[in-house]
Amino acid sequence: MTLGTIMMDVSGLILTQEEKNRLSKPSIGGVILFTRNFESIDQVKELIKSIRLINQNMLISVDHEGGRVQRFREGFTHLPAMAKLGKVYDQDPKLALEQAFSCGWVLAAELLDIGVDFSFAPVLDLDYGHSHVIGDRAFHSNPKAVVKLAGALIEGMHEAGMKCVGKHFPGHGHVALDSHLDLPIDERSMNEIRQDILSFKGLINQGLDAVMPAHVVYSQVDDKPAGFSSKWIKDILQSQLGFAGVVFSDDLSMQGAHFIKGIAERVQVSLDSGCDMVLICNHPELVEQVIDLNWPKCEKLHLMKGIKPFNLDKIAHNNHRQNIQSLL
């Protein structure tokens, strides 16, 4: 099964006719949902069902990490910011790993139950204390702790039946600027950046299904942002680190992606650099500019599908929720 390599978003609680037309195009392989797409569990299930009526193989995704980045709230377990797990880990590593597993299981099971295939989680960036956009989304400042905690969270996601996406390769935590609003430049040497890469490297053979590169320029390594850099994706991530999973671009409408002016060229360079699927969010006019161009399809993307059909184990759900109560 091959899928189109563009992931788009939709504007509201139900599909417009224009969105139905876009979703039927062969270049579209996925949809990312936001808070504006959620009113209730029943409503979002209907929205997802209407997307699948157009293309049953469409990948449905969401940013659902916990803490301040959790798109769906009403009827969902409020997940903690991952930094809370890091704090527990410093006092009681065994408990923290159990709680991380439970967070991963609950995150995955509740999303699978409404028809979402995967979340863009976990964040593998290190917390250096001066990136507000990352901040408490990071598990820890120590890559060994991040590997342990994120590894346990991923195990929980996998146990429930969901694939994971580690972000933002090779690490967004050291730069203060927010790549949604600016193009951050990390001027550290490759030797210094290796500390951040350890979070990804440690999970490549421990269940890391997909990776999202950062819209950050690491000027001592390459003059292009990582998501537009074949050096970062093909040479370092894939060749040197041996990552064979799926690579998603970060949102190509973000300010950090304006390194390349035109949206068609952004898509082209992302795909040429090693991305398997590109995200274009909050700007349907940009999707319109590229939707009818002859983009490749990708067989690897079907690996991100969640379990179908999914049956929520209510006893396990309750037990895992109880296990994370102290974090909330």
Query: How far is the C-alpha of 201 from the C-alpha of 96, rounded, in Å?
Result: 21
Report pLDDT digits (tens) over 68-121. Answer: 999 999 999 999 999 999 999 999 999 999 999 999 999 999 999 999 999 999
Overall pTM > 0.85 = yes
- Residue 130's domain is classified under what CATH number? 3.20.20.300
Report pLDDT digits (tens) over 123-139. Answer: 999 999 988 899 999 99
**Residue 107, domain extent:** 3-327
DSSP β-ladder status, 277-279 and 118-119:
unpaired
SS (H, E, C) 75-121: CCCCCCCHHHHHHHHHHCHHHHHHHHHHHHHHHHHHHHHHCCCEECC
- Average pLDDT over every residue of 184-211: 97
Catalytic annotation present for 196: no
pLDDT for the residue numbered 63: 96
Burial 288-310 (b: 16+ CB within 10 A, else e): eebbeeebeebeebeebbbeeeb
CA distances from 39 to 12, 49, 267, 269 (A): 10, 15, 32, 36
Active-site annotation holder among 113, 158, 178, 180: 180
Query: How far is the C-alpha of 183 from the C-alpha of 316, rounded, in Å?
Result: 43
Give the three-state DSSP class for 230.
helix
Residue pair 76/47 in contact by the 8 Å Cβ criterion = no
| Tally of structural domains, the chain | 1
What is the distance, to the nearest Å, from the Cα of residue 40 to the centroid of all Cα atoms in its chain? 23
Catalytic annotation present for 250: yes
Is residue 4 predicted with pLDDT exceeding 90?
Answer: yes
Active-site annotation holder among 63, 127, 186, 250: 250
